[in-house]
Amino acid sequence: METHAWYVDLVVTVAVAQGWNLTAEEQTDLAKLVADYSQQSAAHNPTKLNEITINLWHDYPTVQRALDPQHPQHAEAHHQLYQQINHCLKQIHVFGVDALYLDERSPDVCAYADLTQKLSQFRFEARLSTYIYQVTWRAVLQWRRSTNALKRGGAGFKRQQAFAAAQQVYYLSQAQQNQDFLLEDMLVAPDPAVDDLVAVRQLKREISHVVVSMHDDPLYAVAQRLWHELLFEQTNISALAETEGLAAGALFNLRARIGRRCRDVVERWCIGLDG
């Protein structure tokens, strides 16, 4: 196991390469952080440790201000996070191209809720700005899917749509090679075939088992009551959230979490349909 002195040497090496002029106290403090976060992320590759060191030096103070409600710059830090989300949205051309469709389900609201909820889990394996971009992009994907579903007005259940969704939708706040799936709203057509009804009923049965197992979710009780509406019905989530006494973003995020938990179930189901 690497010693404290080893981490101090690592920090000194990175500081020289980056042109930082650190005091002995700053070197010691940064070395402690690198040791802590490298163990949490199980990072032992020298290149990865160098990246964590750089990311901690640049972004750790901002993250701590945002996480500490007692910090005098706490509100300012959250404002900065929200501004970075808006900057990302402009980069993605959301406000310029899709402004007509923005509402209370806006991706800036959902991204901000997602970011503030998960910030304590950030492990500094990337720059904070990169992480914020990934969270924002995921929120944009969710929002566009929801907007398209509402504009379709319920086009009926389509096997190919379900299979394509499982292949194409990614959760970029995870490592990009880990492709997490958000279940698309699937509405059974007015006159569905018997095999379609059986297939959907089986999927719902398996999803219900997954949702029951989500004991660690902060909105577990809500998930038990509303998972079917969130995943399978063309519901007004904002109105539903108001009824539940929740922020709309919280309910959208719950739907996303259920989708991630059900990813394997849905992918197996889609493969079965395609087979």
Mean pLDDT for 69-92 is 89
CB 182 within 8 A of CB 142: yes
Mean pLDDT for 29-33 is 91
Residue 262 pLDDT: 83
Give the residue with greater pLDDT, 267 vs 61. Answer: 61
- Picking from 6, 13, 14, 50, the residue whose alpha carbon sits closest to that of residue 32 is 6
Residue 43 pLDDT: 57
Which residues, including other chains, have CB under 8 Å from residue 254's CB and lie 6 or more apart?
217, 219, 222, 223, 226, 230
Taking the model in full, what pTM does it have?
0.53
Q: What is the DSSP track for 38-85? A: HHHTT---HHHHHHHHHHHHHHHHHHHHHH-TTSTTHHHHHHHHHHHH
Residue 172 pLDDT: 31
Q: Is the dihedral of CA 221, 222, 224, 225 positive or negative?
A: positive
Mean pLDDT for 188-215 is 70
Residue 107 pLDDT: 83
Residue 191 pLDDT: 46
Which of 48-57, 85-94, 105-114, 221-230 is modeled with the greatest confidence? 48-57
Among residues of the chain, what percentage have pLDDT more than 70? 71
DSSP-assigned letter for residue 122: -
Torsions phi, psi of 216, nearest 5? -85, -5
Torsions phi, psi of 185, nearest 5? -55, 120
Residue 163 pLDDT: 42
pLDDT band (50, 70, 90) for residue 243: confident
**Tokens 């970075």, residue located:** 84
Mean per-residue pLDDT of the chain: 75
- Kindly tell me if the per-residue pLDDT of 110 is higher than 50: yes
Tell me the C-alpha distance between 137 and 94, whole Å.
10
Q: Three-state DSSP class for 138?
A: helix
Q: Cα–Cα distances in Å, from 257 out to 145, 183, 210, 252? A: 16, 10, 11, 9
- Which of 83-97, 140-154, 178-192, 251-265 is predicted with the least confidence, judged by mean pLDDT? 178-192
- Which of 21-35, 64-78, 140-154 is predicted with the least confidence, judged by mean pLDDT? 140-154
- Picking from 37, 44, 43, the residue whose alpha carbon sits closest to that of residue 63 is 37
Residue 140 pLDDT: 85
Q: What is the DSSP track for 219-270? A: THHHHHHHHHHHHHS---HHHHHHHHT--HHHHHHHHHHHHHHTHHHHHHHH
Cα 258 to chain center, whole Å?
12
- Picking from 84, 32, 47, 48, the residue whose alpha carbon sits closest to that of residue 63 is 84
- Kindly tell me if the per-residue pLDDT of 145 is higher than 50: yes
pLDDT band (50, 70, 90) for residue 194: low
